[in-house]
Amino acid sequence: MILETDDRSLRIRVFNAIENAILSGEYKDGESLNELRISKELGVSRTPVREALMQLELEGLVNNIPNKGAVVVGVSEQDTRDIYEIRVRIEGLASRLCTEKITEDELRALEKIVDLQEFYLMKNDTEQLWKLDGDFHKIIYDASCSRPLRFMLSNFHNYIKKARDDS
């Protein structure tokens, strides 16, 4: 259940909840998403659910079909391959911007993550390695100080995480 008084924050939280449900596989490809059911599950009115579904259509995760509603599109294998190719190219830009703008605190955080990754690699703990990988990339994205780049790469990272979890 999502309880929030700030309308903007509520819309974001509803969007994130539905997006996570799609990416985690809770909502399957081809599944119809009922606004009323989702609004009841999340404890919100239908308006933020409708707005979230429209945004998810813009991001390609749902397809709004007249007289049927939103249907989950999800992330295909081709999407995953495309995302990897695009991500490789734009992460170079994020890294370059990061090296120009990174703070001492962010640099120390990256070093700590690398040390932890080495530790968990020796323990063969892939779950911790994936979590640390996400943390590592988030610091680089944030340190790039580019909001559009951070948004794009964060979305790509979420999609790749979903694909990784499915395999």
Q: Say which residues have a Cβ less than 8 Å from residue 42's Cβ, sequence separation at least 6.
A: 1, 2, 14, 17, 49
pLDDT digits (tens, 9 = 90+) for 57-91: 988 889 999 888 899 987 778 888 888 899 888 99
Per-residue pLDDT averaged across 143-153, rounded?
A: 91
pLDDT digits (tens, 9 = 90+) for 8-61: 688 889 998 998 888 878 898 899 999 999 999 999 999 999 999 999 998 888
pLDDT of residue 3: 46
> What would the two tokens of residue 10 be?
């509520």
CA distance 22 to 90: 25
